[in-house]
Amino acid sequence: MTQAQALPRSLAREATLRTRHGLREVLGAQAWARLPEAVRERFDDTTAAVTYAGAYEVVRASLLGRLFARIGMLFGMPVTPRTGTAVAARVFVEPDARGVVWTREYEWPDGTTDLVRSTKVVAGRELTECLPARLNMPLEVREDNGTLHFVSRGYYFDIRLGGLGLKLWLPGVFSPGVTHVEHVDLGHGWFRFTMTVMHPWFGEMFFQTGRFCAAEE
């Protein structure tokens, strides 16, 4: 794969904005220090908004997974309902008022695109990924041999009633399953993103893996 090309400036994000990942506090100083320098730079609180470009070698989903994804489209798009190989993609990372917004753009061979957007929010030492329709996914974050792991700890809807915040947890059997994301540094500016979602009864629901690097200006 060749070095990623720059995006059109109309798609570029404001570089003056600063992300607020907060992973240093979530992981703790020792685990943070064990991460490769390039990973620390990607997730450091002072890193500018950035666009990554690359491709997924595999975007896979079971029949039930595709059904979950289609239902999810009624409320947004928490995961793409399509599958394929060698799928070109871009990932836009930028701050908002709550945390850090990750927008994944899948470019399919027929010229269509899918946008999957979520916001990672840190409160204290807890990281939560906020999905469309107020669906939230608390995450366990750990470091293992220089690899970052994000593992879901359930799913809940954030219900707001009369100024009160209520958490409506999904039973495991009615959820997509356990989401496990790995961020592996490959050197020379590249990293591998791998996502696996495993249902407790039905096994693998989704699997995606691809290589990315920061797009050049």
Percentage of residues in the chain having pLDDT higher than 90: 73
Q: Which residue has better confidence, 161 or 33?
A: 33
What are the pLDDT digits (tens) for 178-198? 999 999 999 999 999 999 999
Asked whether residue 212 carries a pLDDT value surpassing 70, the answer given is: yes
The correct CATH number of 9-214 out of 2.70.70.10, 1.10.150.120, 3.30.470.30, 2.40.128.20 is 2.40.128.20
Shortest CA distance to 72 belongs to which of 131, 128, 127, 126? 131
Per-domain boundaries in the chain: 9-214
Mean pLDDT of 25-50: 92
Chain centroid to CA 41: 17
| Mean pLDDT confidence for 33-62 | 94
Start-to-end CA span in the chain (Å): 18
Tell me the sheet residues that pair with 141: 150
